[in-house]
Amino acid sequence: MRLTADQITPLFTRDGAYLCARWGRPVAPVIFGLADESLDVFRAAIRAVYAHAGQELAETDPESGANLMMFFCRDWPELDGIPDLDRLTGQPGMIARLTDAGAEHYQMFRFDAHGAIRACFSFVRMDGALADAHPAALAETLAVRSTLTFAHEVTASEQLARLIRAAYDPVMPPVARDPSHALRLAARLA
């Protein structure tokens, strides 16, 4: 079963606005807060997801060193130890908001002048349901969520893998704001 345009559109629509953007530069990932034995699982998942998309990975980003940053903690106040977190995210008070909301995951993107993804910051509180998640499944899901500007949290699946591959097709635009883009994606899945 493949995704239709009617199923694709809500994946990229938030507050009535459609946005589907992909990376416009090589992805240089870095992971903070995981035990060494888990790092290899997450690195392998990131490599696999981006290889499937056809998106290049790099050791470093020339502007920021790393442009895909994943932060793991047991509780949000642990992030207070990250130097200049407010400046990095541009969101003063983010830790208090995440704590008050009881959030388990928060992700944000930065974009280049053309609207393609320039950076992605993913924050994961490894408590509750996520503490019991299988590391490989969690790693794959977080990698998938970082590939495109999904409007809602998604879980890795064969359908999403095909959608990501279609969005990274060189003939597709790196950023689209018109919902008709979902028709083009659906056609590439046919």
The encoded tokens of residue 108 equal 């944000």
Per-residue pLDDT tens over the stretch 22-53: 999 999 999 999 988 889 999 999 999 999 99
The encoded tokens of residue 150 equal 């999904």
Q: What is the mean pLDDT of residues 153-174?
A: 96
Residue 64 pLDDT greater than 80, yes or no = yes
Given the DSSP bridges, would you call strands 175-176 and 20-21 parallel, antiparallel or unpaired? antiparallel
Residue 140 pLDDT greater than 90, yes or no = yes
The pLDDT, as a whole number, for residue 84 is 87
d(CA 38, CA 36): 5
* Residue ranges of domains in the chain: 1-21+150-190, 23-147
Name the band, by pLDDT with cuts 50, 70 and 90, for residue 7: very high
d(CA 125, CA 38): 15
The pLDDT, as a whole number, for residue 1 is 76
Tell me how many helices (H) and strands (E) the chain has.
Answer: 7, 8
d(CA 168, CA 166): 5
Q: What is the mean pLDDT of residues 74-80?
A: 93
Angle in degrees, CA 44, 39, 111, rounded to 5: 70
The encoded tokens of residue 3 equal 């995704």
CATH 1.25.10 fits 23-147, yes or no: no
